[in-house]
Structures are given as structure tokens and as C-alpha cells.
Structure 1
Amino acid sequence: MAIAALRNGFSLNGQRILPSTGEVFLTGSVQKLEPKVMEVLLVLASSAGDAISAEQIFALVWPRSVYSPVAIRRSVNQLRNVFHDHHKLLIKTHPKRGYSLHADIALLTETSSVPLLPVAEATKTATQPVSAGRAPWWFSIFCLLLCGGCWGLYAAFGPADLPAAADAKAKWVVADLQPLTATKEQESFSQFTPDGKAIVYLKEATASGHSELWLAPTNRQQHRLLYQTEAQIKFFNFAPASTGTTKLQHSQLVIATEQDNSLHFASLWLSDDYQLYSSANHFSLSGSKLLSPFVVAEHQLYFLALQQGEQRLLKADLSSGQVDLLYVPTQQFSPYRIAPAADNNYVTLLGFDEEKRSQIKLFAKNGTELTDYKTLDANWYFIVYHPTANGYLLSDGKALFYLNNNKELSRLAFENYAFLHYPVLSPDGKLLSYSQAKITGNIYSLDLLSHQQTQLTSATAHDWQGSYSPDGKRIAYVSNKNGLSQIFVLDLEANTEQLVYPNPALQLALSQPLWSPDGTKLAFARNERLALLDLNTPQVKVRYFDTVIGQPSQWLPQPERLLLVQKSQQLQRWIEFDFATEQQKQSVSAEHRLYHQNQRYQINKQQLQDATGLVLFQAPKNKQILRHVAKHNGVYLLLSAVPSSSLQLSPLASNPDQSKADAAEIWFFAFAGQNASKISNIPLSGQSIAAIDISDINAQQLLYSTFAVEKDIHTLRLLQ
């Protein structure tokens, strides 16, 4: 039976299978398969009764990936668990020949219906998701756009607007996917040694509180600790030999650390067998945060730092410590990555233009010239330049791309279900190292009176950015439970959910969905472009407004309008969009805005003000406004002494008598009475069970999502 026919739905021994949604309808429950596991089932079902080799299955399901028998075994085991095939009678193993499926297969009719089931059952999966073309399950799986904002496990494809022939033009083939680390600690960044024989990688803050640099030979022999510090190591890079010591066999590793709200640069000198024998501090910058890996050229250091709310390009002399400002971001171009360039007189900048598209530009080191090189798309990227490869290697967090010196962009034949961060190439251009991240988390509600926490979703991946409907009976949220970022609506009373936006264009970043006042529509941004879902129709309708750039912030009635925000540097651009006329009214403000009956309000960390600057609410002493949520009748204010965007919530409010100084507070400012009242204290604990990301608040509940990430270093062989 053809796979194409099975994709419309089929029954297996009377059990309904829907490949389009990944659902397997069993007696009394629904199991949900990850996309690649469903593809394996389709291959087996298409050849029911016949043995098919693991190599054949892999070639059909992962056509552009390096063969991994582990992926096949995991998929088969997951299918056996779903169908309770513990005796291996449904899926038989034929040693050295493959697998065969033994079942009655029948196509479903187009009129077949699928009932809604309780979400607790509808979101079940048999085991952890299968990763396409990746390392064995015990060390690989994250992690975002939003990243932007919080970002989840997105689609295993590249930018939607790449030409269809991009794959055919790829100059590189990847092979030999291997883990360099497989620990519970977070390994987040790596660099090759100048001779290419070893990799230095970063372990983020360990149990001892130290950041650590470790060295591992590329042949994966014994790893050893190279350096540790109480400061937070951000990035590091080897300096060219000319900037090191007079003994060329010695290497200079420049490291950047952050501590006490300051950015520090230092050098470690390593012997020819990479033993640390000397170190020296270079300079420090207060009130600065490093945004990207930096470039070392001769005695100069080029880096991007966040200063006074701006992403600035700076140059520093490693000998004198002199720091010069080279470029201040504008609305037309705001850089977020820096890399070397083919011409040593330039550095490469990657940033967003006014339309929120990633652009590659060349910046002259003398600061006199900024020229266009390549316009990409609305995704964000990692970028490295490699002279041996004669071009750039790019990653959007999911896929890998090659940009040659003729400015031709092609996609490498590589599929990945986890986040791919900070790819770097070995000196000979034959080995790729990167950090792979897996992100997981679920959505919870917190009763503001009893402090009882309730888990609302249960996924093997990441559910986040939840929003209450106006009546509080539903939530809309973003999830990547199906392998890509999608929007779901969960009915809290019936405990059923509906996929309302399947993300057909495979956009990497979806913003938090915003309900219309009548609860019939959802507004959100995909890669910063506005989209509108009409839920009040038999089939959800989608409208795209690609000329409207920003994330929805508030619905504005009479006439129906939407307030959006473009978050950039110190000033934010605010857009009022009229759905009827599709006209945009733009303004700029450093503070957050909201409206009620055409009256404007503004919020900063300490105050809620009217349009004239009159203070309507002042945060109590030692508190600040961490988050606000605008509703039709007022605005909820989350106050906390914690300066982070993540709070720590104590398990089920186990210590309600905890001091007020350690507790977050929920206040409500009523538009009608122009006054604020305190609703609840939220006990906080440094020994919390999880970090939380608060996404919505109403009169009874607070909505939040958990967030956990696993990061390891992986390598790939590149064959030209």
C-alpha cells in the first residue's frame, strides 16, 4: 500500500491512525507520536508482512541525514510501547534483515470523524521524542526566536523563503555525528585549538559555583579541566599567533567574563601541550554585557556589548586596554552577531534591519564604512567565517547553511530536532563543533488565594506563552510537542485541546497569542509578522499581515484595533493597527504603553503614569514592577524585589508566613476608580522546585510555564 494513501489516515487492527496529527486512537485513550516515529510506522505499514531493512527505513524517513541505527531502534521501541507489543508480535525483528509489521491495514474514509479526548490523554507519548539524524538517545536531544522570548524546539527545516533548489547547491555533506560531552552539566560553547587537535568547551556555573573551561582531544580521549573562575565565563577565542608570546608554539586564549555588573577580558597562555602556565588581565567595562562571541585580530579585540540599553560595537587594544566605540545601532540596522571577514580590513556584522530581517554587513575596522553583503530572512542566525571553506557557515538554530564568497546561500543536508547553538569549524574546515540544547517545560496555574498550583499541560517538549481567554475558561499557548512551534487552545472545563495554528510555513518563532475581548480571535506574531486567527468559524481562518512588524500587546476597541510593540534598543516603537483599514499609526517611547478608552498610560519599573506623567501608582519601597498584564477593566501588576525576569516559586506555598520582603505581590489598578489594590502575596523560595515564566494574570489565577534546558557539545564531520 502506498505511503501517500496512508497519510490520509488508516486503521491498524481496527485502531485509528491519523498521520497528519500524529494521533493513535486506542481503546479509551489517545497516544501521540513524534513526526519521525509516525513516518517509521508509515514505512512499515506500507510494506505490511514484508521485512524491510533498517537502512531502507532510515533512507526513507531521514533522507538527508547520517545513518543512525539507534534512531530506528528507538522508533520501533516507541511503537511497540504505544501498541503494547511487548512480545514483538506486531512488529517483528528479523536479525540482519530488518523489521516487519503484521496487522490488518485499511484506509480511513474521508467522512471518518475523530472525537476530542481529555488533554491528559491526548498529549501522551510513549517515550521521549525521536531526533532525526542525531546521536544516540542517551546523550542527545532546545532550545527561540526568541529566544526570542522564550524559545522552544522548532521545526527541523531552514528558512521558509529559501529557494527550493538550495539543497541541491550545497557544497558540504555532514557525517559522523558524535557527542563530545554527555553530562548533566551545561556545556554551552566551544572553540578548536589552533592546531585542530583538541576542543576547548565551556561548562556553565557548576555545583561549586565556578565557570569552567575544559579541554578534550578530538579523538575523545581523556577530558581535563583547563581553567575555572568564580566569574561567569561568557565567550572565549584563540588569538592569532602574532598576538601571543614570542614562542610561537604557545597559544593565547582570550576569555570574557561577567561579574558584579562588569565585563572583564583576560588572556590565558597555554603551552604546546595546552597546559595553562600564565594569565593576565586586560581591561574591564562596568555596566556592560557581552552579546556574542568576539573577534581577535592582531592586537585588537572587536566585540558587541549591551551598554545603556544599546547593542554597541566596540574595539579594544589588548596591550593598552584602550576601548573605542565604533558603531551605535540604528533603526535601520542593529547588530547581534560579529564574525571575521574574508578581507582582514573588515569584520562581519549580522543584525536586524528595519523590517526585522537578518542582514550581513561588512564593517571597516577603521570605522569609516558599513556595506551590505547579504539579506537573509526574519530568522536570527549564528555565523562564523572560515578562510579554508571560502565562506560563512550559518545556523538558524535548527538547520545549517553555507554562504560562499559569491554570496550564494545553500543548505547543508542535515536535519536536527534540538537547538544548534554557536557552530565553529576546525582550522582545516573538516570538523564542526556546536552546542546542542533541548528545552522542556509545561504550563501551570496558581490560585491567587490558596496558592495551589495546577499543572495544565503535559508534553515531552516545551509548552509556554499561555494566555487566558476573557472568560478564563480557555488558554491559548505555544507548543512544540509535534516537532515544530504551533498554537493550541485548551478548554479548561472540558479538558480538551485543539490545534488552531499548525504553522504550515514552519516559522521558527511564534509570539504569545493574544485574545480579542470577545474571545473569538487570537493575534500573534510569527517571526515578528502579525497574524490573526478567527476561532468563531467551523475551520479556523488565518489572516496574515506581513507589512505589520511587531508583537501584539493589547486589543483596542472602537474601532477594533491592535497595539503592537517593536522591541529594539532604548526606545520601543508602538504601532496602532486598524483591522478595517489596515492602516498603521506609529510612535516611539522608552516606556511600556497601554490604553483604555483612548486614554494612554505608561509603565516603568517603579510607576504607572497617565499620558501627562501624573503618577497613578508607585511601587512600594524595595519593590519594582516586574510584569504587567492589561485587561479591559484595569491592569494587573506583578511586583518583586527580585531583579530577574524569572521568579522562584515555593512548592505549593509551603511557607505562607514567609517575610514580605521575599514575596512577590500582585496588585490591580482599576481604570474606573483610578486606584490600585493589593490582591495577593506569592511566597518565593531560593530552594524552589523550578524556575517559572509568568505569562498571564487574571482575578483568580496566575499562569506560568516551567523551563529546563539540557546542553551538550557535539561534533560533525564535514565532507566537501
Structure 2
Amino acid sequence: MLSVFTAQHGAPRNGRCLRRGIIWGVLWGIVALVGGSTPTRADDDNNYRAQIFVGNADGSDLKRLVHLPEYQSQGSPCWSQDGRFIAFDATRSQLGQQFFDGHLIVVNADGTNPRDLGPGILPSLSPKGNRVAYCRHPNIGAPGVYITDLSDPDNAGLVDEKGWGAEWSPDGTRLAYTRDKNLQIFDLIEGTSTPVLDVDQSGISQIHWNFCWSSDSRRIAFKGTTTDEKEVLAIANVDGENQKVHIVFEGNLGPAVTWHPVQNEILIERYLETPSGFPSLFRVNLDRPGEAVRMPSRPVDRRLRNAAFSPDGKRLAVSVFRREQGDE
């Protein structure tokens, strides 16, 4: 059962879920009596737009993380640094909801105990998984970057009303997010925010969300758009000693970037010339910048994006989309 926190007490609405289950049971029984058919678990498993799957780091042996048929679109997975939890955002796309209408879902890494924390998108878990940073869009309330405790998700604290796309540093001391075409570093101990780049000298005109930290919490990799309108995979130092942006790869890229915690490589989304225009996952070895190698394991019936490595680098959480005819 999916635990849902109420706006007043932060407790699971198990009674409400039970009443809702009874109502739906009666409705489906009526459908069956008049000649309809009752949807099965298999029907739900095959009726989705995007779901979170977990498998090996090369994309093989993918299995659905958790069964939440009410949320047919799921994305932006992230792990806690201890590997115990996975968070993602989810929408009821079958009801016309858009990405910005999403809810925050946190689940044990084995798929048990899913919890709906309420409205929010682009989650990033603290190292031990006790707190989560996330974003709100004006469609779902006061916008900005927030932090909340998983045990009391209704009492969220605002970090920056103009921030977007927060990512918790692996050492747990800082948040990174974008604001005004720059990366901001929020010091969780001092409560101060500092820009990373000299925007007049960096050559970057836009930084896209779903960037990532290096495992030593000293660098951030991101998809950027340059002042001459090129899309690049770039790396910026965040220790204050060298603000120069290093361009690693140039191409038609998707926004999601994930840094392997052990190997010296970054996983990117790259668009290919296909009828669907859907990106594929590629590995970029930082010892050989400028080269991108496509992920070896590619399911024939599904498409992968929004990937996140587990803290030990052995597992991959990824948003799996149903493949359409003409996809590569």
C-alpha cells in the first residue's frame, strides 16, 4: 500500500486508502456484471508512460522498482548515499497531469514501503535519506527549492524562492541548484548561498537541471548551453579555487547527467537522428573527452533516460519509457 501523508498530521492516510479501495472494488464489480472486464496486475504493468526500473550498471536485468499504477509517469530517480532509499517524482499522466504537477515518492531500494510525500519534483535525498531537497513549480504552490524531513514532509523549509533543480552533495554539507543562469552552492551549515561561475567569463548562457556532483563533492557536471548556442557536457569546480568551465563533450543532449561514483565516467542522454527524437544513454570517459559510447544493454521494447547510479556504482535506477514504433 502506498502511504500518503496528510496536510495536517503527516501520517499515512490508511483509512482513506481503505475506503478508496472499497469504492473502486464496488465500481469494478459493477463493470464486470455489465459485461466489462476487471483490469489485472498484468494490465497495470503494461499500461504506463514511464516507470522507475532498477538493474545492473550497464542497463541489463532491469526490473520495476515498485508497483504504483496510479502514477503512470515516473522520473528523476535518485539514491540516498547509504543506498537504502530511492526517491523519484511521479504524475498521474493518464489524468492529464503534467511534469510540474508531480508528487515526491520515496521507497526502500528493494521496492518496499513506498511513501507519497505530496507535491514536488526533482528530488535529491540527503546522504542518510532522512531529508529530501526538491522543487516546486508555481503550478503547485510557492515556487523554489525546498528541504523537508521525511518524517514530517508538510513542514518544508524554503532554501531559495528563485532556485531550481537542487542536488545534495555526497558529503551532505551543501546543496547545488541553478539560479539566474548560474550554479548556486548553499552551505547547509552556515545557511549561505554562493554563485559558482563568473557568468560573464564562463561562456555558458544556461545550465540545465538534473546535473550531478562528483563523488568527492568538489565538482559538478551539467548540460549547458554556450553563448554561441551549442549544447555541451561541462564540469565546474565548486571549491572556489578555479571557476573555469571544462567542456567535456559537445552534441545534441538531454538534460540528465549522472557521474559514476567509482569509474571516471559520466552517463549522458544524447539525441540521435531517429523518427521519435528520443535520447539514448551514452557513457563519456573523462580520460577520453569528446568520445561517447552508447550503453551496451538496450531493451528492444523500452527506452531509458533519467538514470542514476547507486552509491557503489553497481546498480542503475532509470526511468523506462514504453518504446514507440520507429525508435532506435
Q: TM-score, normalised to structure 2's length?
A: 0.59
Residue in 2 that maps onto 1:474: 85
Mapped partners of 1:682, 1:634: distance in 2: 15
Mapped partners of 2:173, 2:154: distance in 1: 18
Mapped partners of 1:558, 1:468: distance in 2: 14
SS at 1:496 equivalent: coil
SS at 1:77 equivalent: helix
1:613 offset after TM fit, Å? 4.1
**1:501 equivalenced with 2:117 (yes/no):** yes
Match of 2:135 among 500, 516, 525: 525
> Which stretches in structure 2 are left out of the alignment for 5+ residues?
1-12, 35-39, 96-100, 138-142, 225-231, 324-328
> Deviations 1:414-466 (Å, cap 9, x if unpaired)?
xxxxxxxxxxxxxxxxxxxxxxxx97331112423472221223333322222
Residue in 1 that maps onto 2:75: 464
Mapped partners of 1:580, 1:541: distance in 2: 22
Residue in 2 that maps onto 1:702: 316
Are the equivalent residues in 2 in contact too, given 1:636–1:666 (CA < 8 A)?
A: yes
Give 1:572's aligned amino acid: K
Mapped partners of 2:127, 2:245: distance in 1: 28
Give 1:525's aligned amino acid: C
Mapped partners of 1:476, 1:578: distance in 2: 22
The 1:624/1:705 distance shift into structure 2, 3 A limit, reads closer
1:78 offset after TM fit, Å? 2.2
Match of 1:78 among 28, 33, 46: 28
Mapped partners of 1:688, 1:441: distance in 2: 15
SS at 1:477 equivalent: strand
1:501 offset after TM fit, Å? 0.9
> Which stretches in structure 1 are left out of the alignment for 5+ residues?
1-16, 25-31, 42-73, 89-123, 129-437, 504-509, 649-663, 670-674, 710-720
> Deviations 1:692-720 (Å, cap 9, x if unpaired)?
332423412332223469xxxxxxxxxxx
Q: Map of 1:229-248 to 2, 5 A cutoff?
A: none
Give 1:486's aligned amino acid: H
1:479 offset after TM fit, Å? 2.4
1:564 offset after TM fit, Å? 0.9
Mapped partners of 1:573, 1:618: distance in 2: 18
Are the equivalent residues in 2 in contact too, given 1:476–1:487 (CA < 8 A)?
A: yes
Mapped partners of 2:253, 2:53: distance in 1: 24
SS at 1:451 equivalent: coil
SS at 2:113 equivalent: strand
Mapped partners of 1:126, 1:606: distance in 2: 39
Q: Map of 1:18-29 to 2, 5 A cutoff?
A: 18-20=14-16, 22-23=17-18
1:125 offset after TM fit, Å? 7.5
**1:492 equivalenced with 2:114 (yes/no):** no
Residue in 2 that maps onto 1:267: none
1:519 offset after TM fit, Å? 2.7
Match of 1:561 among 174, 189, 194: 174
Residue in 2 that maps onto 1:590: 205
Are the equivalent residues in 2 in contact too, given 1:694–1:702 (CA < 8 A)?
A: no
Residue in 2 that maps onto 1:442: 51
The 1:23/1:693 distance shift into structure 2, 3 A limit, reads farther
Mapped partners of 1:676, 1:696: distance in 2: 22
Mapped partners of 1:475, 1:76: distance in 2: 34
Give 2:295's aligned amino acid: I
Residue in 2 that maps onto 1:690: 302
Are the equivalent residues in 1 in contact too, given 2:105–2:116 (CA < 8 A)?
A: yes
Q: Map of 1:57-456 to 2, 5 A cutoff?
A: 76-78=26-28, 440-449=49-58, 451-456=60-65
Residue in 1 that maps onto 2:140: none
Mapped partners of 2:263, 2:107: distance in 1: 25
Are the equivalent residues in 2 in contact too, given 1:636–1:697 (CA < 8 A)?
A: no
The 1:532/1:697 distance shift into structure 2, 3 A limit, reads same
Give 2:271's aligned amino acid: V
Q: TM-score, normalised to structure 1's length?
A: 0.30
Are the equivalent residues in 2 in contact too, given 1:511–1:551 (CA < 8 A)?
A: no
Give 2:279's aligned amino acid: L
> Deviations 1:297-318 (Å, cap 9, x if unpaired)?
xxxxxxxxxxxxxxxxxxxxxx
Identity of aligned residues (%): 13
Are the equivalent residues in 1 in contact too, given 2:266–2:284 (CA < 8 A)?
A: yes
Mapped partners of 1:87, 1:624: distance in 2: 51
For the pair shown, the structure with the greater C-alpha radius of gyration is: 1
Q: Which has the higher contact order (CA 8 A, sep 6+)?
A: 2
1:525 offset after TM fit, Å? 0.8
Residue in 2 that maps onto 1:245: none
